[in-house]
Chain A
Amino acid sequence: MWRKLHRYLTLIVGLPFLVWLLSGLAFNLFSDDTLSGRTHFQTLPLQQAKLPNGFSLQRTLDKLKIKHPDDSISKVRLSQSFARSTLIINYNKSSLAATQYLWADTLSPIELSHHQLLVLAKASYRSEKSDEVNNEEVVFSEPKLLPAHFSRFRNDDSASHNQYIVQVDDRLKTRIYLDGNTAQVLAHLNQQSDVQDILFALHFFDFDHDNGLAFNHWFIRIASALTLLLAISGTVMLYRKLKLKIQRAN
């Protein structure tokens, strides 16, 4: 019975099992840095906190409360972007998205222009030394709005759906992902991180990476349960055969 079960299970999940092992082996062999996609990434320098003229925290809260009387603010963070102060407002629960990004002087939502997005992308990019020596300048594409289904970097709590991609014509074909509503660099990806994406897709059987990595989907759940059964049946057969061999030897 166990032998039959083992053979049928091998027929069903033998190939996914092998894919798991090989992709796991690849993760083991590649170093984390090699596949991170952050080869050219540099953190943006911390800007000194500066407030707009006449700014009052109390008045700002009052104005926000008038705008959204039903929403309770839990946190207000001060930040800087393009030499302007920004406020990151966290709401507890509301009809609004849980986080809002506003310019501190006007309390209007941040919405970066294409020029500002490009400046942000360039600021997050560190050139290779060989490029500098050869005096080769990499070319940045115009920021392009990401399609609505691309939710990989979208936070459920955020109002921001205004995300862009800037492509860099460098050796690794770097792609810089930016958020037009938070003025943040979301990620750097490149051909090396694409390899990592393929390995993740194979290891988690999630081939639509645009919406982030999922590993609780039904296909992987069924495959993992059957693989566990495959391993158990194999162990039982192994144990029986071993027991028989020992008995024969005695």
Chain B
Amino acid sequence: MWKKVRIWHWWLSLIIGIQVLIWSLSGAYMVLTDIQFIRGQHLVKSIPSVKPTPHINYGFRQVLADYPSATNLQLNLSVQTPYIQFNNEQQIMKVSIVDGKNLPALTVAEISNQARAHYSGNASIENVQLLEQAPSEISARHAPVWQVEFNDTAHTTFYYREATNTLVSKRHDYWRIFDFLWRLHIMDYWQGVDIHTPWLTAVSISSSLMALLGLFLIYPWLRHTFFTNRKSRRSDNVA
């Protein structure tokens, strides 16, 4: 019986062993690296508010008078030109708190300054570009986005949502490795989101069976190595 169990364990290992190795490797990377580090929390520092704050001539009341259907009103003070942002008929608007005028879109230089202020490292900015479509490493809902690449060893990249000028994602090589391993872990090599694929089911069932058979095989080894040896040693001593 144990010979059959060993053969089945061997054959299953041969068929799905690579995936088991990938699971072990990716799982180890995920738990051994600090999740806050992977999320890039160490890459950013908070930007102090503009001091002194300009006098608010155009506040929430004026916004609601001019745009009665405005929602999600917020005053942002941590930028060079403080503004009020709000949603108006499915559009995100930004107006000056000084005169209520629509703020022009940020320039490359302004985004660079903002990114430099956010960045906690010392590396210089390598490239800044406005992307109409979000790259695969960030959520598509943020598009269009400003991509700011830093010249550091981990290839840090900041993404700013153009509509709000807010930092929406921080990416670096350790995150990219994590993402790559996650795709391998869940066997969704393209999107990295679907954990319900039939091939994952098939490999999971086979691996569970392989692991179970492996656990069974421990029994004859334990019996032979520990109990038989101990018994024979005891009988030797008696003799």
Name A residues whose Cβ lies closer than 8 Å to a Cβ of B. Answer: 7, 10-11, 14-15, 17-18, 20-22, 24-25, 27-29, 31, 46, 48-51, 55-58, 61, 72-78, 92-93, 215-216, 220-221, 224-225, 227-228, 230-232, 234-235, 238, 241-242
- Do B27 and A92 touch across chains, with their CB atoms under 8 A apart? no
Q: By DSSP majority rule, is chain A's interface helix, strand, loop, or mixed? A: helix
- Do A14 and B76 touch across chains, with their CB atoms under 8 A apart? no
Residue in A closest to B30 when the chains form the complex, CB atoms: A215
Q: List 24 interface pairs A-B (beta carbons < 8 Å), by A numbering.
A: A14-B214, A14-B218, A18-B212, A20-B27, A24-B204, A25-B204, A31-B196, A49-B70, A51-B64, A56-B61, A57-B60, A72-B48, A72-B49, A73-B77, A74-B47, A75-B78, A77-B73, A216-B31, A224-B32, A227-B27, A228-B24, A228-B27, A231-B23, A242-B14
- Do A216 and B35 touch across chains, with their CB atoms under 8 A apart? yes
Kindly state whether residue B234 has any CB partner on chain A within 8 Å: no
CB-CB under 8 A from B71, the residues of chain A are 46, 48-49
Q: With contacts A74-B78, A75-B77 known, is A56 near B212, CB below 8 A?
A: no
Q: Which of B20, B59, B72, B222 contacts A57 (CB 8 A)?
A: B59
Q: With contacts A7-B221, A21-B211, A49-B70 known, is A221 near B31, CB below 8 A?
A: yes
Q: B interface, how many residues as a size bin?
A: 35 or more
- Do A28 and B196 touch across chains, with their CB atoms under 8 A apart? yes
* B178 CB to nearest A CB, Å: 12
- Do B207 and A21 touch across chains, with their CB atoms under 8 A apart? yes
Which residues of chain B from 175 to 224 have any CB-CB distance to chain A below 8 Å in the complex? Answer: 195-197, 200-201, 204-205, 207-208, 211-212, 214-215, 217-218, 221-222
Q: With contacts A24-B204, A75-B78, A216-B35 known, is A234 near B59, CB below 8 A?
A: no
Given contact pairs A25-B205, A92-B46, A231-B20, a sample of 7 additional A-B residue pairs in the complex whose CB atoms are under 8 Å apart: A56-B59, A57-B61, A76-B77, A230-B24, A232-B21, A238-B17, A241-B10
